[in-house]
Structure 1
């Protein structure tokens, strides 16, 4: 039996891959040539994991352009370990075409790679091949003394005292893995149904209806949704876009020159949400010129001061005002430097007065109104967040035309560099996200707002949405949507504040969103046992981790010496396991800190001779 220390990484998707890449990068400095066994546990192929697995529909795209995706660090990432450069997705595709890289991919994916440009939105299957190659490159970079063992199964529990080896119980294996240290990188979680969802499912079962609760769209069985029948869809984000594609092109329809040609097998999707509009289109141009200096107000010192305050933080009171000012700084810096003809004040004077004004104050509003004559050039975050608030239409047909106009205007603006202030705000959002991670669980609103503005669908998807609307396959419900279960009629009924007095009845309801990442409602036995075993969670159910190195924190506030966790189910969740090149990559920083802490712990354990047999 090996006497080498044992590290178990649970989750082989991009986050687990990133941790192994950072172990390889830091091993020479921190671990030398000491032996180490790494056990990687995931029922799906390592690299992509579940979400980015290769066996999914080729119709499903990434919502980022190929040039905006990387798994590798650069000099913008704040990390203690070494930067190890690597290709972004589009550059990797160039390497494949040049014969410098030979990926393990299906012929259809190789064909897609041959035609890929930096401005294309790749399929998720192509991203899976990139992630698999990244994983294999990380394995090759490990010292010969470090061995990785893959277990294509599910981890069911982690138990064991704080001061000794952990026991990782696996499905389909009698004996547990014994681990000196465990890192959880399990990604998005399945969940048990919330009370409202359980009631809707019970109602559907009693009346022979269809209710699809929150889930990963690619994993949802959509065959029960009948052709030609109305389906109420609650949720207008990226999960809806996937649903839309799978129920239209996935059923044989096709898009031809802006017109949707139906197959006749599509249902009719009645879609609405709180906002009532889709996420904003991805920006369709690249940055030129001077970048806004970020962070300006959301500095580490600001975060330190907030964290030093007694009691819990209130996001709207303590955090949002300065976030809004930071986003305004990015917006107006770009307006004054790239579009000075649309301003009336010296930029240095404006900047000084903007810095001196309190967030959200009348003085700040007066300054902007005087310096930026056109209201369309001013940043109105409230209007961006809820564009249909206070807006009503006389009829459902009027709403269809109104939302088509709204989506068309959004597409036009997001592809017009004359509105490059939008891209500056996007950069401000990325910078703000990196700072807000330090604050822990700040509630769900911020993450939803970030996704709505910064992580929307590709422009071509919204063009397809417009075509489907014109074809009558998609119908818009509006904002502040409510869904009722009518026991007497045995149907679901949806209405929206945007069209008072109108409603739609349907025998099918789809919740187009991911399950909430709450340990209190998780369907994962692994995370449930952690919660029941004393791991601390926040009010929203996120797993508490140490912001420095991602060690799991217990309910007494103690970081566990042998358990780490990274990902969207933790208080250090961020916008993704991979990122745009040269944008700081907060996930990479977290991976590096966790890898260095793990290697240091395992080195000290090995050198002290305290490895259990």
Structure 2
């Protein structure tokens, strides 16, 4: 009799768990204990829904090819074996060198892979090809007593007792399993209630309102935006970048060099007029397209395991901004100044050891630390100001909309120039330090020590948004394109503190920003240019919806006497990622279902929504490895459910 495992979701997370099963099975699953794995996903395995090949070739990753990997390496701190593998760049350089080889079916993808440089930002279709290969390698690496069946189908329901077989209902068959893993990836929900008024307004007046959606799924809806239609895009992040590409190049426009190092946009005449604004009023900072110029900084230095232990040993509740952020920010500053002093010492006025001794001695944002930085770093442009970076338009009031366009074009030009210039590689040092925070952040977030208000306002709302704004922006060429679109009048900036109001008399939206008091624009379409945020209570995933309605899973609720925060995330147990089932009560396992596991962005184990960078000890790899080992140990001792 074979043990049976059903993995629901075959995108990058499901593929990553499969890779860790392949790595750990020789140690934890004896050859006389066969295992059959059913992998369920309506989309192709590897890429899954978000990274499927069937999407516009205009859509790109926001990471360089050399910064994307699906494999553990020598810096991975995992209990299971390290199984190195190529980054996207290494694989693309010679796909034939990596078994099992299969030529990409799309000739455009094949052509892209042949010329892809390590510092290029690949199309998402190129990443889809890489993920397809990673999946096939994971299957090939399974020991002979572990086999896989792929079901291009949707899982609608899972049922079964905690101490017995689980039945997973697909469209036209039922799979019986010893254990079920939910690696469902990025999911959709019914729109947040705060969008209901605009949706109803659009319906009453025959207008268009698009709630948040993933870019590959929004393409068809964008056809409803008419050429020349004045359209407000509320949001200035990655979703905005994709939507603008689809509404401009995707409609036949094109960019060409302007002869002065920039770009000129040649409209097709089918573009709408796009008015964009957000809370900050500026686009996400673009990714750098260079490498560190100095030695890699030893990170983290301040927000490390010892520091988090000390935080957790403190009596009383914790707050992220008050208790943890000073250490986190100091690490970001350390990464910044380590690179500045080592790669550009001519722009510093103190020896590095002397600066570091003072930096170690003073707390973040203290007058003493500020004075040290001013003494050691003469040019203010070389100093790190995290607060100013957060809201660059704060307090700025301009006299006209045209003055705002000019101001934003200068800001974007300076940002794009800086991010393309290795002379400012200290920015990359800060970026790497910011990434390093995720090594210990899950421990703090999973400790139940943060106040409910801090989790809601400082973690879920502020920190993850700030991280995306600083570290998860678009490739630099997207900002050059944005400048060209602004010069062509296709994109118009609204500024910070954007407000969108409904005008029932005219059936139009009126949008304004705080940067130009009194200035408003009128639009007949409103697009929420945000990535959707999954909420369990409104999920559109049929399996989660059924489990939630039957009371077998629970939304994470963080509560204390002063505040209650409903995060929308599926509650899991840290450590082994077992699903918490309210029906199991508060038994010895804390209500953790012994036969159901969940991993990914829809769960309460928060992480950066990004692929792992090589040699960064990715928390995602650690979670995948821990979950895979727990699964294999359980399957090795569970009475088999069915024969494979």
TM-score, with length taken from structure 1 = 0.95
* Match for residue 575 of structure 1 among 602, 605, 608: 608
Change over 3 Å in CA distance of 1:242–1:202 after alignment to 2 = same
1:597 equivalenced with 2:637 (yes/no): no
Q: 1:474-510 deviations in whole A, cap 9, x for unaligned?
A: 1111111111111222111111001110011111000
> Could you tell me how far apart the structure 2 residues matched to 1:304 and 1:443 are?
22
**1:351 Cα deviation (Å)?**
1.5
1:354 equivalenced with 2:352 (yes/no): no
1:434 is aligned to: 439
* Match for residue 501 of structure 1 among 487, 503, 518: 518
1:276 is aligned to: 281
1:26 is aligned to: 24
**1:103 Cα deviation (Å)?**
3.0
Structure 2 unpaired stretches of 5+: 258-262, 446-454, 558-564
1:563 is aligned to: 596
> Could you tell me how far apart the structure 2 residues matched to 1:200 and 1:310 are?
46
2:574 is aligned to: 547
Q: Report SS of the residue matched to 2:248.
A: helix
2:46 is aligned to: 47
Q: Report SS of the residue matched to 2:569.
A: coil
> Could you tell me how far apart the structure 1 residues matched to 2:511 and 2:205 are?
17
1:316 is aligned to: 321
2:561 is aligned to: none
**1:338 Cα deviation (Å)?**
2.0
Change over 3 Å in CA distance of 1:182–1:313 after alignment to 2 = farther
1:68 equivalenced with 2:67 (yes/no): yes
> Could you tell me how far apart the structure 2 residues matched to 1:163 and 1:359 are?
51
**1:308 Cα deviation (Å)?**
5.0
2:55 is aligned to: 56
2:291 is aligned to: 286
Q: Report SS of the residue matched to 2:538.
A: coil
1:382 is aligned to: 387
Aligned partners of 1:542 and 1:569 also within 8 Å: yes
> Could you tell me how far apart the structure 2 residues matched to 1:420 and 1:16 are?
35
* Match for residue 486 of structure 1 among 503, 527, 530: 503
Change over 3 Å in CA distance of 1:266–1:77 after alignment to 2 = same
> Could you tell me how far apart the structure 2 residues matched to 1:444 and 1:25 are?
37
1:251 equivalenced with 2:257 (yes/no): no
Matches within 5 A, 1:407-426: 407-426=412-431
Aligned partners of 1:577 and 1:587 also within 8 Å: no
**1:612 Cα deviation (Å)?**
6.2
Q: Report SS of the residue matched to 1:322.
A: helix
**1:339 Cα deviation (Å)?**
2.1
Aligned residues: 606
Aligned partners of 1:15 and 1:577 also within 8 Å: no
1:366 is aligned to: 371
Matches within 5 A, 1:53-452: 53-96=52-95, 101-170=101-170, 172-173=171-172, 175-220=173-218, 221-257=221-257, 258-307=263-312, 313-440=318-445, 442-452=459-469
> Could you tell me how far apart the structure 2 residues matched to 1:8 and 1:610 are?
13
1:460 equivalenced with 2:470 (yes/no): no
> Could you tell me how far apart the structure 2 residues matched to 1:97 and 1:503 are?
57
Aligned partners of 1:536 and 1:554 also within 8 Å: no
**1:312 Cα deviation (Å)?**
5.4
> Could you tell me how far apart the structure 2 residues matched to 1:437 and 1:102 are?
38
Aligned partners of 1:336 and 1:343 also within 8 Å: yes
> Could you tell me how far apart the structure 1 residues matched to 2:634 and 2:555 are?
22
> Could you tell me how far apart the structure 2 residues matched to 1:160 and 1:98 are?
45
Q: 1:261-304 deviations in whole A, cap 9, x for unaligned?
A: 11100001101111111111110211233111111111123323
1:585 equivalenced with 2:612 (yes/no): no
> Could you tell me how far apart the structure 1 residues matched to 2:625 and 2:604 are?
17
**1:108 Cα deviation (Å)?**
1.7
Q: Report SS of the residue matched to 1:51.
A: coil
Structure 1 runs of 4+ with >6 Å offset: 97-100
Aligned partners of 1:438 and 1:572 also within 8 Å: no
